Amino acid sequence: MENYRLLIFPSAKKDLQDIVYYVNELSPDAALKLYDEIVEGISSQSQMPERCPLLKSPVLRVKGYRMLIVHNYLVFYIVNGNRVEIRRILYGRRQYEFLL
């Protein structure tokens, strides 16, 4: 099985920081657990990134966007050759098309 190289864009890093900061205000333990689960989900993409579906939006599908769901958060990424590019991590109820 081929391993893919993970590349986390600065926008996704900022998203993750913002998410953890927000949840930390409510519960530090929950923030730490959520952080670990998101990082674990992202790490798993180095093995089989195409297991997550392409997005339904025709515009984003053509660009190759895929989505990993971790609790209430969506990790948006693109498989580009042997790289998995993590582009954004957003709250699931947020309108995301214009952010990608």
CATH number at residue 9: 3.30.2310.20
Distance (Å, whole) CA 4 – CA 49 = 8
What range defines the domain where residue 84 resides? 5-93
Task: Answer yes or no: is 76 within a domain.
Answer: yes
pLDDT for 7? 95
Task: Answer yes or no: is 17 within a domain.
Answer: yes
Task: Answer yes or no: is 81 within a domain.
Answer: yes
CB 68 within 8 A of CB 41: yes
Query: What are the two backbone dihedrals, phi and then psi, of residue 99, each rounded to the nearest 5 degrees?
Result: -90, -15
In single-letter form, the type of residue at position 92 comes to G
pLDDT for 1? 58
First to last CA, the chain: 29
pLDDT for 93? 76
Below-50 pLDDT ranges, the chain: none
Domain count, the chain: 1
Task: Answer yes or no: is 99 within a domain.
Answer: no
Task: Answer yes or no: is 39 within a domain.
Answer: yes
Task: Answer yes or no: is 38 within a domain.
Answer: yes
